[in-house]
Amino acid sequence: MTENDNAVRVRGLVKRYPDKVAVAGVDLDIHRGEVFALLGPNGAGKTTTTEVLEGYRRADEGEISVLGIDPARGDRHWRSRIGIVAQSSRDEAELSVAELVSHYAGYYPSPRDPEEVIAWVGLQEKRKTRTRKLSGGQRRRLDVALGVIGNPELLFLDEPTTGFDPEARRQFWTLIENLRTEGTTILLTTHYLDEAEHLADRVGVIADGRMIEIGTPETLGGRGARTARVSWLDADGAHEVRTDRPTAEVAALRARFNGEVPELEVRRPSLEDIYLELIASVGAEPAVLEGAVR
């Protein structure tokens, strides 16, 4: 495989802090044009990994290639090919939305049209508003506008929708889907399992600095974890079976009950169920879910 096949190629990434190994040997390939979601509990090493890929932190060990370049040696041209929406936004409180987006456009060799980007993130009505007066959700959309103004090939989104209400989150998802349709490669870290399920082509679960598993939202956890649960009620009480063939199981039950099966329920594990099983299997705390409801 050549460098060009993958937007990101990481082998054996290690990052140590004085009192902590934050990333303990991670391998990761992100294909061009895909949306890849990194999931994991608080402190798992997601932000550290992302910051190494962005060139903001140096790896202690490992081979890292981002758009064919080692981020530790990334020059201005390389930097102009990536877009970053970090966890905390920058603060240029006195500029208006339009001023700030135009200002950022000036940093890039072939930026998008600022007015188009402002419209695209749904901030037309705020274009003259000073950024300090924006709500949290509006500020986050502005962050995305600043992340994509340079027309990046690869976009890093670190917990982009934390604090959004459900409607704002849906709107944001549409933005990301549009970017993906245009061919932008996206690395997303998120605390929301439904967000990963909705947006990601593939998901990587990281805990204690290690990549536990990589798969599509449909295949993560393997076949065993995907087993459906069929439950029903009869004179003896509640019953549940786990099965790979829920349709056949339901047909058999219907035959046994002559049609209607009392309290019949067929449940497939959600990505959240599978994530929790994976995290539990390595003894890590699934604190990600507390993050999700705060």
Ligand X SMILES: Nc1ncnc2c1ncn2[C@@H]1O[C@H](COP(=O)(O)OP(=O)(O)OP(=O)(O)O)[C@@H](O)[C@H]1O
- Please report, as ranges, the residues that interact with ligand X according to CB under 6 A: 17, 20, 22, 40, 42-48
Separate counts of helices (H) and strands (E) for the chain: 11, 12
Task: Name the phi and psi angles at 2, rounded to 5.
Answer: -90, 165
Considering the complex, state which of residue 46 and residue 180 has its C-beta at the smaller distance from ligand X: 46
C-alpha distance across the termini of the chain, in Å:
42
Considering the complex, state which of residue 19 and residue 91 has its C-beta at the smaller distance from ligand X: 19
Cα–Cα distance for residue pair 145/273, rounded to 1 Å: 34
Strand spans (E) along the chain? 6-17, 20-31, 35-39, 61-66, 82-85, 154-158, 185-189, 202-207, 210-215, 228-234, 237-243, 265-267
CB of 40 to ligand X, least distance (A): 5
CB of 202 to ligand X, least distance (A): 18
Considering the complex, state which of residue 39 and residue 118 has its C-beta at the smaller distance from ligand X: 39
CB of 41 to ligand X, least distance (A): 7
Considering the complex, state which of residue 40 and residue 111 has its C-beta at the smaller distance from ligand X: 40
Return the bridge partners of 85, or none: 157
CB of 15 to ligand X, least distance (A): 8
CB of 220 to ligand X, least distance (A): 18
Considering the complex, state which of residue 22 and residue 212 has its C-beta at the smaller distance from ligand X: 22
Task: Name the phi and psi angles at 106, rounded to 5.
Answer: -65, -15
